[in-house]
């Protein structure tokens, strides 16, 4: 029967319906196959194979072992480090050594330089009486040398210790502490030299004081004692140990 008859008679064309149903069914079956393929692909991509999931590879174990060995220092290096730490001087000991050495160094420098200047100018502090001979003059010179060595040593040590005391206890600026230490120690040294030499001359026979030489030597000594005191202040404020 022709298609015109089918339309006029109102009966559906079975061939056309079958043709239309087959593409739909093929599309559904194709979609199911694609979905199944995606699920299989996801399972294969997300889950590792049984053979691949067994433990780390030998190469990974070797790398881990090498990394652990690199973190541990060699036995010889660790032993040398311990020996260096045992032989090294503690920082506190170093600070105190520098501090005390600076104190004695300043005192010795002040004493030595003061003595060199006094010896260079050759101004006598004591002189023999006019009625005495050569022996009295020699005795006067020996008395002067002995007295100066003792007095200058005492003044140098007293100056540096007093400067340290003032530097640690005066709550003033460094410049003011230098002025206080220098001025007070210079005046003290001058009084010490004048009185000690005068009183010493009273105990010596046929020896008197040369006032001109005594004043000159007193001024020189006062200047160096003041410098030593200023050095003591500097040491106390710049080289004082942390645990002092």
pLDDT tens readout for residues 76-116: 666 666 666 656 788 889 999 999 999 999 999 999 999 99
β partners of residue 209? 126
Structure tokens at 18: 């079958």
Is the pLDDT at 38 greater than 70, yes or no?
A: no
Residue 83 region, left (φ>0) first, then alpha (ψ -120 to 50), else beta?
alpha
Where along the chain do its domains lie?
A: 100-238
Number of CB atoms found within 10 A of residue 146's CB = 11
Beta bridge mates, 207: 128
- pLDDT level of residue 67 (50, 70, 90 thresholds): very low
pLDDT, greater one: 236 or 71: 236
The pLDDT value given to residue 184: 97
Own/partner contacts of 102-106, CB < 8 Å, gap of 24 or more, are 102/235, 102/239, 103/160, 103/161, 103/164, 103/232, 103/235, 106/160, 106/228, 106/231, 106/232, 106/235
> Backbone phi, then psi, for 108, in 5-degree steps?
-65, -40
β-sheet bridge partners, residue 154: none
Token readout for 209 is 């004081």
pLDDT (mean) for 163-172: 95
- Percent of residues, the chain, with pLDDT higher than 70: 60
Tens digit of each residue's pLDDT (9 = 90 or more) over 177-187? 999 999 999 99
Q: Residue range 223-228: average pLDDT?
A: 96
Lowest mean pLDDT among 16-25, 129-138, 213-222, 233-242: 16-25
Whole-number pLDDT of residue 91: 87
Q: For the purposes of burial, counting CB atoms within 10 Å of the CB of 24, is it exposed (0-12), middle (13-18) or buried (19 or more)? A: exposed
As a whole number, the mean pLDDT across the chain is 75
């Amino acid at each position: 029967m022709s298609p015109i008859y089918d339309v006029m008679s109102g009966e559906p064309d079975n061939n056309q319906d079958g043709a239309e149903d087959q593409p739909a069914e093929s599309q559904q079956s194709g979609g199911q196959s694609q979905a199944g393929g995606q699920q299989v692909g996801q399972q294969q991509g997300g889950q590792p194979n049984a053979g691949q999931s067994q433990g780390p590879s030998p190469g990974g174990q070797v790398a881990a072992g090498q990394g652990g060995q690199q973190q541990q220092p060699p036995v010889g290096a660790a032993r040398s480090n311990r020996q260096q730490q045992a032989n090294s001087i503690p920082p506190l000991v170093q600070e105190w050594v520098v501090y005390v050495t600076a104190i004695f160094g300043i005192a010795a420098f002040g004493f030595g330089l003061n003595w060199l200047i006094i010896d260079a100018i050759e101004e006598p502090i004591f002189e023999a009486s006019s009625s005495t001979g050569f022996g009295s003059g020699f005795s006067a010179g020996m008395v002067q040398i002995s007295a100066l060595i003792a007095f200058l040593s005492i003044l140098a040590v007293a100056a540096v210790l007093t400067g340290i005391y003032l530097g640690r206890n005066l709550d003033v600026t460094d410049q003011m502490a230098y002025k206080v230490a220098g001025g007070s120690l210079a005046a003290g040294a001058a009084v010490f030299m004048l009185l000690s030499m005068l009183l010493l001359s009273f105990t010596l026979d046929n020896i008197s004081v040369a006032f001109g030489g005594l004043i000159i030597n007193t001024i020189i000594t006062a200047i160096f004692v003041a410098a030593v005191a200023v050095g003591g202040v500097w040491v106390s404020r710049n080289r004082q140990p942390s645990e002092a």
